[in-house]
Copies of this chain bind each other. A is one copy, B any other.
Amino acid sequence: MKEHNILNQLKVVCSLCSLRELCLPIGFALEELQQLDALTGSKRLVRRGEYLYRTGEKFAAIYAIRGGFFKTSVLHEDGREHVTGFHMMGDIMGLDAISTETHACDAVALECSEICEIPFDRLSELSMVMPVLHQNLHRIMSREIAFDHEIMLMLGKMRAEERLAAFLLNLSKRFSARGYSAASFQLRMTREEIGSYLGLKLETVSRAFSRFQEEGLISVQRKLIELKDADGLKRLLRV
Contacts and interface: CB of A to CB of B under 8 A. Distances in A.
Interface of A: 74, 76-78, 80, 82, 84, 95-100, 104-105, 124, 127-128, 131, 134-135, 137-146, 148-153, 155-157, 196-199, 237-239
Given A82-B153, A143-B99, A124 B128 contact: no
A153 B98 contact: no
Taken together, the copies of this chain in the complex come to 2
Contacts of A150: 74
A39 B74 CA distance: 39
Contact of A148 (B76, B97, B145): B145
A184 B76 CA distance: 27
Given A131-B128, A138-B98, A104 B146 contact: yes
Contact of A105 (B84, B143, B149, B155): B149
22 contacts: A74-B152, A76-B153, A80-B157, A82-B153, A84-B152, A96-B142, A97-B142, A97-B146, A99-B139, A99-B140, A99-B143, A124-B131, A124-B138, A127-B134, A128-B131, A128-B134, A141-B145, A144-B145, A145-B145, A145-B148, A148-B148, A156-B197
A235 to B, nearest CB: 11
A11 to B, nearest CB: 21
A141 B78 CA distance: 28
A96 B156 contact: no
A95 B137 contact: no
A82 B152 contact: yes
Contacts of A153: 74, 76, 80, 82, 84
B156 A199 contact: yes
B198 A156 contact: yes
A95 B199 contact: no
Given A105-B149, A141-B138, A145-B141, A76 B155 contact: no
Given A82-B157, A128-B128, A157-B80, A148 B152 contact: yes
